[in-house]
Chains A and B, each alone.
Chain A
Amino acid sequence: MEAGKDEKHVQEARGPNWREHFPVGTVDDQYVARREFAKSLTIGSAILVLVNAAIAFVGRFVRRPAHMVTKEVKLAKAADVPTGSSLLFRYPEEGDPCILVRTKSGSLRAYSQVCTHLSCAVVHEPAEDTFLCPCHKGRFDVNDGRPVAGPPSRRLPRIWLEERDGEVYVVGRDT
């Protein structure tokens, strides 16, 4: 009886049995978990550098052509598009709406009419010489199609034109 009591005291002093098999305390466990988490984040950082390197490699060596000539289409007479006016057309397929404008400076420009944000149709604003996307108030410069206001971050794909003998021809479209 006395021996059993002593054994119980020894057992209490030693702690529960499972501690012998799992000697790692909570504080040590937290330490290791946080150390491993920091290590994982650093490895993730290295992976992101590799992804960025791959993007830089593709951007440096795999250039896409500036524009893709698909087919030549006669569009309109140049005189039919006075300064500040616009003309809608479809190019290269029926499902690709485009817009032709004559800018304030007198030059003809054409772009895809599909906003690069969420694909609404842009309209010409002659007063400000910009394209306006009415869905989210995005604006594009008519001279080069770059976004100047609102949520769009990419420029409008340009439609390439040629003017011959008073006629306007569409010759290509940006990819």
Chain B
Amino acid sequence: MLSGQGSTLFAGLSAGIGILVGIQLWLVSAALEALLSNEPSAVGPAFVVSICLFAINLGLFAHGRSFDKRWRASRQKEPGRSEGAS
């Protein structure tokens, strides 16, 4: 298992998670705007959507973590190689 594969994987994951975090930021600003204009009806749905986006982010990151575990295991199996990267 190559570190290069992992780099590409985490670059892709970061791009995906980054886009969803951008949407979450927009939701926070929209919810705050609604709250300050005394129209809190949009605040609840924004919270629910934010949780959904976080769940997707967590799933994506968990996928990366599972790759990371396999990467660490493969490094430890390599003969004469000490664990360099954390």
Which residues of B sit under 8 angstroms from A39, Cβ to Cβ? Answer: 61
Q: Contact between B51 and A28 (Cβ–Cβ < 8 Å)?
A: no
Q: List 27 A-B contacts (CB under 8 A).
A: A23-B82, A27-B2, A30-B3, A31-B10, A32-B86, A38-B14, A38-B17, A38-B61, A39-B61, A41-B18, A41-B21, A42-B17, A42-B61, A45-B24, A45-B58, A52-B24, A52-B27, A52-B31, A52-B50, A55-B31, A55-B46, A56-B31, A59-B31, A59-B40, A116-B37, A153-B37, A155-B39
- For A28, the chain B residues whose CB sits under 8 A away are 3, 84-85
Interface positions of A from 36 to 64, Cβ below 8 Å from B: 37-39, 41-42, 44-46, 48-49, 51-53, 55-56, 58-60, 63-64
Q: Are B46 and A52 interface neighbours, CB within 8 A? A: yes
The answer to whether A45 touches B21 (Cβ under 8 A) is yes
Bound-complex Cα distance A153 to B38 (A): 12
Fill in one digit per residue for A8-47: 1 if any B CB lies within 8 Å of its CB, else 0: 0000000000000001110111111011011101101110
In the bound complex, residues from chain B placing their C-beta under 8 Å from that of A51 are 28
Q: Given the complex of chains A and B, what is the CA–CA distance between A49 and B31 in angstroms?
A: 12
Q: Which residue of B lies closest to A174 (CB)?
A: B38
Which of B6, B21, B57 is in CB contact (< 8 Å) with A31? B6
DSSP class of B's interface residues: helix, strand, loop or mixed?
helix
Chain B residues in 8 Å Cβ range of A58: 35
* Residue B7 lies at the interface, judged by CB distance under 8 Å to chain A: yes
A154: CB under 8 A from chain B?
yes
Contact among A30, A34, A53, A60 with B40 in the assembled complex (CB-CB below 8 Å)? A60
- 4 cross-chain pairs, A with B, having the tightest CB-CB distances, nearest first: A59-B40, A34-B10, A154-B37, A59-B43
- State whether the Cβ of A85 lies closer than 8 Å to any Cβ in chain B: no
Chain B stretch 24-55: residues in CB contact (< 8 A) with chain A: 24-25, 27-28, 31-40, 43-44, 46-47, 50-51, 53-54
A residues whose Cβ falls under 8 Å from a Cβ of B: 23-25, 27-32, 34-35, 37-39, 41-42, 44-46, 48-49, 51-53, 55-56, 58-60, 63-64, 116, 153-155, 174-175
Chain B, interface size: which category?
A: 35 or more
- Of all chain A residues, the one with the shortest Cβ separation from B81 is A23
**Which secondary structure characterizes the binding site on chain A?**
helix
With A and B bound together, what is the CA distance between A32 and B71 in angstroms? Answer: 11
CB distance from B29 to the nearest CB of A (A): 10
